[in-house]
């Protein structure tokens, strides 16, 4: 039965309809796996609290933190990876083992089974939060994929083309799903149109958390 979460006329929910290099793994993590991952996120956030990053357009509506040897950050100096948390000067928390296990499961059966990220950007989307269409281009090696794991509320993930003008399509990502963008899809524009409040199957989590794994350095 096709996933009814995908809007008609879009990717229709079957991997065969996704463009080359884009992989969707619905339900990669079962409820216990989601709860364990969320507990690890909370531990990271106790060490490196979520904060809204500053961009030229103002504060991001998603709150962010990082784990790993590099963390994505933005302030008036621009977008970049930092080996330390600019808010505290401390190193980012190390990537928990359960993060790496989720990535390994996500990239199995893709062209990048040995993907070893050094950065995990964790975004929290509360009600009304979104992320405009953008490309991820602050990393050194675009041959490495990007892996995103979702927790909590459903989100409308926007997948555009390789140019900003190409119309984006919506893929609904649910708690426990993974999305992999690599190869011909590595530089696709993408974003979050909105989240769907109240849809989180994770009891303590209201909102959406995304874990975006990249090889940054
Ligand atoms: Co991005």
pLDDT in tens, the chain (217 residues): 344 444 444 454 444 578 999 999 999 999 999 999 999 999 999 999 999 999 888 999 999 999 999 999 999 889 999 999 999 999 999 999 999 999 999 999 999 999 999 999 999 999 999 999 999 999 999 999 999 999 999 999 999 999 999 999 999 999 999 999 999 999 999 999 999 999 999 989 999 999 999 999 9
Does residue 9 sit within a domain? Answer: no
Q: How far is the CA of 1 from the centre of ligand 1 (A)?
A: 30
Q: What does the pLDDT read at residue 16?
A: 54
Pairing type for strands 71-75 and 22-25 reads unpaired
Q: How far apart are CA 177 and CA 38, in angstroms?
A: 13
Put simply, whether the predicted model's pTM sits higher than 0.75 gets the answer yes
Please give the pLDDT value at position 12: 45
Distance of CA 208 from the midpoint of ligand 1 (Å):
15
3-state secondary structure of 118: coil
Look at residue 39 in the predicted model and tell me its pLDDT. Answer: 98
Rg of the chain (C-alpha set): 16
Q: Which two tokens stand for residue 106?
A: 């996500």
Can you read off the two tokens belonging to residue 147?
A: 């892996």
Calculate how far, in angstroms, residue 192's C-alpha sits from the geometric centre of ligand 1.
9
**CA–CA distances in Å: residue 189 to residues 28, 135, 156, 185, 186:** 24, 5, 14, 9, 9
Into how many domains does the chain fold? 1
- Whether 16 is covered by a domain: the verdict is no
Using the mean position of ligand 1's atoms as its centre, give its distance from the Cα of residue 148 in Å: 9
CB atoms near residue 16 (< 10 Å): 7
pLDDT of residue 8: 41
Q: Name the residue range of residue 62's domain.
A: 22-214
CATH number, domain with residue 51: 2.60.120.590
CA of 134 to the centre of ligand 1 (A): 6
Task: Give residue 121 CA to ligand 1 midpoint distance, Å.
Answer: 10
Ligand 1 centroid – CA 109 distance (Å):
23
Strands (DSSP E) contained in the chain are 22-25, 51-55, 58-68, 71-75, 78-82, 119-125, 131-134, 146-152, 154-159, 169-173, 178-181, 190-196, 208-214
Q: Which two tokens stand for residue 139?
A: 């990393």
Both structure tokens of 170: 């919506």
* Residue 14 is assigned to a structural domain of this protein: no
Asked whether residue 76 is domain-assigned, the answer is yes
Cα of 65 from ligand 1 centre, angstroms: 14
Give me ligand 1 centre to Cα 190, in Å: 6
Q: Under 8 Å CB-to-CB from 90, ≥6 apart: which residues?
A: 47, 48, 84
Token readout for 140 is 């050194």
pLDDT at 1: 39
Measure 136 CA to ligand 1 centroid, in angstroms.
Answer: 5
Centroid of ligand 1 to alpha carbon of 135 (angstroms): 6
| Total residues belonging to the chain | 217
């Amino acid at each position: 039965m096709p996933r009814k979460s995908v809007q008609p006329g879009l990717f229709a929910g079957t991997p065969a309809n996704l463009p080359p290099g884009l992989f969707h793994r619905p339900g990669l993590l079962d409820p216990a796996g989601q709860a364990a991952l969320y507990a690890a996120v909370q531990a990271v956030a106790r060490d490196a609290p979520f904060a809204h990053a500053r961009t030229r357009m103002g504060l991001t509506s998603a709150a962010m933190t990082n784990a790993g040897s590099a963390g994505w950050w933005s302030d008036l100096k621009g977008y970049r990876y930092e080996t330390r948390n600019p808010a505290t000067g401390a190193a980012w928390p190390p990537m928990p083992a359960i993060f790496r296990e989720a990535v390994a499961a996500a990239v199995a059966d893709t062209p990048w089974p040995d993907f070893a990220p050094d950065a995990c950007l964790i975004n929290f989307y509360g009600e009304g939060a979104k992320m405009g269409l953008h490309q991820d281009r602050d990393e050194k090696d675009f041959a490495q994929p990007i892996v995103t794991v979702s927790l909590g509320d459903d989100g409308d993930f926007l997948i555009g083309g390789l140019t900003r003008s190409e119309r984006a399509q919506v893929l609904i990502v649910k708690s426990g799903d993974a999305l992999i963008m690599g190869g011909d899809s590595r530089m696709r524009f993408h974003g979050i149109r909105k989240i769907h409040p109240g849809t989180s199957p994770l009891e303590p989590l209201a909102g959406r958390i995304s874990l975006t794994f990249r090889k940054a350095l």
